[in-house]
Structure 1
Amino acid sequence: MITSYPLNVLTYEYNGTHSYLLEYITKCKAGEIVVGQELIMELDRLLLLFDDPDIKVDFEDAKKRIKFIETKCKHFEAPFAGKPFLLELFQKAFVEAIYIFKIYDDEIGRWVRLIQDVLFLVARKNGKTPLISAICLAEFFCGEMGTRILCSSNDYEQADLMFQAINSMREESRSLEKVTRSNIKGIFFGNPKNPKKVGKFSYKNKGTIKKISAKTGAKEGKNIKVGAVDEVHELKDNSSTMPIRQAVSTQDEPLYIELTTEGVINDGYLDERLREARQVLSGELERPRWLIWLYTQDSEQEVWQNENSWIKSNPGLGVIKKRSFLKKMLEEAKTSKSMRVFVLSKDFNIKQNNASAWLTHEEILNEETLDIEEFRNSFAIGGVDLSKSGDLASARVILMKPGSQKKYTIQKYFIPESKLENLSKEDKDRFANWIRRNLIDVSPGNENDFSRVTAWFVKLVKDYGIRPYKIGYDKWSAIYWAKEMDEYGFDCVKVSQQDWGAMSEPMRLVEADLKSNLINYNNNPIDKWCLENTALDMNSKMEMRPVKVQGKEDKKIDGAVTLIMAYRIYMDNRTEFLSLVGR
């Protein structure tokens, strides 16, 4: 309980002033508001500051910014478009936590804001970008003259979301728009339609709000007061954040904010930041100027078993974010690995390993076989992964029967003789067995002879009349092979296995079809092995692509890749292909 003088827990006051932060802390610790243990630990850190003799508690800056947001800022997106930006208690407490604590700076010779660094982790659709955008706009108007603000993210599109949120709030308010202007470069003070020669809101004020992405060069040297980096979970390292943190270091009262959900990038920038943050919360590290505001679950189990716990990672649940939406997402997550990864990381801030197995053994297992004679004189869809590294290569065709959604696949694998020596003892035994069964074609020397891949397709046509309608191949490693195939009359289409957009949709359909037992891969053990070695890599747009399972970097996924690539060609040409199948 909060008992130390001069706090008044009944009225949430500090020295006669109502504090939203104290109100929030009290209600959280009393269980009236449900939050996770990591936020409780941070609230305990903040509580100590009220009685710290080296800290002065001053509500003026926080009150000014809260009042600015609630009276000047308006929402711009449905269903709240045009309505005042009325802050929830958790948002007011967050703003207060940033601004009310002051520490005396001997170098500067005055009291300055204690908090300079903020990590704000909250599940998606809880208003994090609008909130930070509103704080940035408030700082622009309520802060000192010449305040320069930079919005950043991993890509320009995401950085633009925050910038546009700021600009839209500015445009929604007549009083703010009257004294500012915006163009493609940023937001500036001074309005040509209502010119002022002097004062904070005139052209004399050189403050700006601009945007930048991690991919944009020349970030060093920018002298800014506020830096806000959105979706830091997508960053692989600190190469794009350090220049921004250094750029604010020249200011007396800088403010650097990182806002994000959890992600799926292993050992990325956010992982390191969260490791440090949790060390601070546990008392292992001293970071008195870092506000660590984490809305996290205490376990994955409670997500599935206790609906009341969802608010721990979703403080806006019921007001900003709909409970029915979360229920729907969780239902889908029960039957889809990709959806499970996305929902747990994005909606509940539970870190997901993006290199864990994509499919279970049971989902992959299918002991059905096929008789190639049943597909004599049929059309097919092809897929080829020739492997840049020169080891295992894969080729396959997908066949279908009229009136059926089931896919039947015939495959062949290829490997250079020299590569067999580099395999582990376990894999050597596997490959020796597969070669004896004629599942793998071995090329002499150090490289695959891709003409053998061509010969395999030619043999399908000559021996069985199986004609590939189109064949997908990875554009990075098959230029000369594609020319050879073209000479034989095959229509080959480039598909990049590194492209999220190209691989995501077919990967989902392969997953669904495997679970529905709609893929007969002729009980091929190499296909099974490749599928078991395959993990899903997911980005913030919920797009996915195949990668190797973490810890299985020496294993192969070529068979899974060709299946997904063939599905890409099938999906792009479904109508035409099915009409050929039905003939």
Structure 2
Amino acid sequence: MACKRHLDDLEAAKKKTSKYFFDAGAADDVCAFIELLPHTKGKWAKTKELIVLQPWQKFIFCVLFGWKIRKNERRRFRKAYIAVPRKNGKSILAAGIALYMFAADGEFGAEVYSGATTEKQAWEVFRPAKQMIERTPELADAIGAEVWAKMLLTPADGSKFEPVIGKPGDGSSPSCAIVDEYHEHDTSELVDTMETGMGARDQPLLVEITTAGYNIAGPCYDQEQDAKKVLEGALEQDELFAIIYTVDEEDAWDDPKALRKANPNMGISVDQDFLLSQQRQAVQSAAKQTRFKTKHLNIWCSAKTAWMNMIEWTKCADPTLRREQFIGDKNWKALDLASRSDICADVDCFIREIEGKTHYYLFGKYALPETAIESATKFKNSYTKWVIEGFLDQHEGAEIDFSIVRDLVLADMDVFAPQEVVFDPWRAAQLAQELMKEGAVAVEFRQTVQNMSLPMKELESAVKAGRLHHDGNPVLTWMMSNVVAKLDAKDNIYPRKEKQENKIDGVVAAIMAVGRAMLAEPDQSDDWISDILIA
């Protein structure tokens, strides 16, 4: 898609009225500059070889620096999102871009930063760039650069290149910022600060270079979704360059062909036999699959031992779905209540029979107390974003206001007439009594292994078979990605979370609703019904 976008832009640029044009000379210049720099790692550094760009790397440099705005001949792209698996030469991309912007871009008083959340990560880009210029004294002499311990400096115009941890200080005006391994960032604070500081620059460049990660509630995952929409033509952001090396949804992750598709530098900087070995180990050990998929196929997998295949879950999303479309359909409402730090979840599960198969349709409402949002560390930005977008309700004070929950449930009862309101007696006894007084059929569903296992397996099976449908609510998607399946000696499974901050309340409510819906289906086994009633 990135290549097609470039070709389409070239075709459009033939018209004199087009906004952009491709400057082949500028594209050549940046590649020529990079190929005068030495390798800093591996066998090539040992023999003091110069960098030889591979075709995929040339494509990135040429497109990023070659496209110009017709009316002022400034660069078109102000931001780049580059996602590529580990060991595929990211340091050459990152350090090369940074050095070019520092030494050859023609920006007076250039400020180039290698930004990260830790000092170690910030140096992953700065160190090879520093070594490149140390081993190329002709370049240092030509631009009058001085190499300091933690900075490259050109005294003549004050240009500098340095690593930054956190965010640059007040008064900084980045002309280029490299954010390496963006998936490790819990918030977008560093990127936001860099972008806002670039306002005084004519043609600044912010580059995010990363592999996939586990935190789909983080800023990197959001950026990747936007990048995909741009490449698909669903979102117009002419100033964003995006390229993502990964496998397609229909590809078998355990097929060696997948390695070639996802790893553009396979056989060059990343050894083919090494990748094949990692793939074999992942096939043999379920515990290693998620890490392999994330680091070597560039697939976002969320929890390191995640239960749900998030690619399949995402395929079940239909943002056009509305609860109002299901008035009159059988449905079950499940409540997983929380008072302070967990998310209060109210999930509706509608069912329809299609070609003899049961299809589930999930819709949810979620709430957190104001204090919990303000005191959150890792996911505060995500909570705030979801509140603004209407996906998460914020209750005043330090606790969930159960009267608000009750009123919402009663309103739904009037419109959708759920078969049952399903609840875990923990925290919900009083609310259940109030609902029963209003005519609700309130049913306890204790969150035991015996009760949760079969509906959890049914939910997973429905996702794989395309019988599960949801409206794409990002809160539920995030919680689904946090679920880890605990397996007991009898092959029963139970939803768990790896860390306290990884909420799964909406998924628990969905499992409860599916469990009660299964009891109403004639094809369910009597043995399981007995197990539920006994539990």
Q: Any idea what the Cα deviations from partners look like across 1:300-357, whole Å, max 9, x if unmatched?
A: 633323x234222211111121111111111121233442111111111112131764
- Report what 2:49 is aligned to: 83
Corresponding position: 1:252 with 2:202: yes
Secondary structure class of the residue paired with 2:43:
coil
CA contact (8 A) 1:76 1:172 kept: no
Secondary structure class of the residue paired with 2:113:
strand
Corresponding position: 1:63 with 2:28: yes
Secondary structure class of the residue paired with 1:534:
strand
Aligned partner (choices 299, 317, 329) of residue 266 of structure 2 = 317
CA contact (8 A) 2:213 2:300 kept: yes
CA contact (8 A) 2:216 2:222 kept: no
Structure 2: give runs of 5+ residues left out of the alignment.
310-339, 343-423, 430-442, 452-484, 511-535
- Report what 1:92 is aligned to: 58
Report the residue type matching 2:29 in the other structure: K
- Report what 2:230 is aligned to: 280
Aligned partner (choices 512, 516, 533) of residue 495 of structure 2 = 533
1:337-356 correspondence runs (5 A): 337-354=286-303
Secondary structure class of the residue paired with 2:298:
coil
Deviation of 1:181 (Å): 2.4
Secondary structure class of the residue paired with 1:256:
strand
Secondary structure class of the residue paired with 1:303:
coil
- Report what 2:139 is aligned to: 176
1:98-177 correspondence runs (5 A): 98-105=64-71, 110-144=72-106, 145-177=108-140
Deviation of 1:289 (Å): 1.5
- Within 1, Cα distance between the matches of 2:307 and 2:501? 8
Report the residue type matching 1:127 in the other structure: G
Structure 1 pair 432–152 and aligned structure 2 pair: CA distance change class (3 A): closer
Structure 1 pair 426–359 and aligned structure 2 pair: CA distance change class (3 A): farther
1:316-335 correspondence runs (5 A): 316-335=265-284
Structure 1 pair 430–349 and aligned structure 2 pair: CA distance change class (3 A): closer
Structure 1 pair 141–322 and aligned structure 2 pair: CA distance change class (3 A): same
Q: Any idea what the Cα deviations from partners look like across 1:71-95, whole Å, max 9, x if unmatched?
A: 2x11111122121011111111211
Secondary structure class of the residue paired with 1:258:
strand
Deviation of 1:136 (Å): 1.3
Report the residue type matching 2:52 in the other structure: L
- Report what 2:381 is aligned to: none
Larger Cα Rg: Structure 1 or Structure 2?
1
- Within 2, Cα distance between the matches of 1:67 and 1:281? 28
CA contact (8 A) 1:358 1:535 kept: no
Corresponding position: 1:188 with 2:119: no
Structure 1 pair 420–158 and aligned structure 2 pair: CA distance change class (3 A): same
Q: Any idea what the Cα deviations from partners look like across 1:137-181, whole Å, max 9, x if unmatched?
A: 122211123211011123221111101111111112122344422
Structure 1 pair 186–98 and aligned structure 2 pair: CA distance change class (3 A): same
Report the residue type matching 1:74 in the other structure: P
- Report what 2:312 is aligned to: none
- Within 2, Cα distance between the matches of 1:39 and 1:311? 17
Q: Any idea what the Cα deviations from partners look like across 1:10-35, whole Å, max 9, x if unmatched?
A: xxxxxxxxxxxxxxxxxxxxxxxxxx
- Report what 1:239 is aligned to: 189
Deviation of 1:255 (Å): 1.0
Structure 1 pair 332–550 and aligned structure 2 pair: CA distance change class (3 A): farther
- Within 2, Cα distance between the matches of 1:297 and 1:120? 15
Structure 1 pair 421–312 and aligned structure 2 pair: CA distance change class (3 A): closer
- Within 2, Cα distance between the matches of 1:261 and 1:300? 20
Secondary structure class of the residue paired with 1:259:
strand
Aligned partner (choices 163, 168, 178) of residue 228 of structure 1 = 178
1:370-449 correspondence runs (5 A): 421-422=426-427, 428=446, 430=448
Q: TM-score, normalised by structure 1?
A: 0.53
CA contact (8 A) 2:167 2:193 kept: no
Report the residue type matching 2:66 in the other structure: I
Corresponding position: 1:205 with 2:205: no
Q: Any idea what the Cα deviations from partners look like across 1:251-287, whole Å, max 9, x if unmatched?
A: 1111111111111102221221122222222222211
Structure 1 pair 78–429 and aligned structure 2 pair: CA distance change class (3 A): closer
Structure 1 pair 255–546 and aligned structure 2 pair: CA distance change class (3 A): closer
CA contact (8 A) 1:262 1:350 kept: yes
CA contact (8 A) 2:258 2:297 kept: no
Secondary structure class of the residue paired with 2:35:
helix
Deviation of 1:49 (Å): 4.7
CA contact (8 A) 2:281 2:288 kept: yes
Which structure has greater helix proportion?
A: 2
- Within 1, Cα distance between the matches of 2:79 and 2:54? 22
- Within 2, Cα distance between the matches of 1:63 and 1:76? 23
Deviation of 1:299 (Å): 2.4
Aligned partner (choices 256, 264, 267) of residue 217 of structure 2 = 267
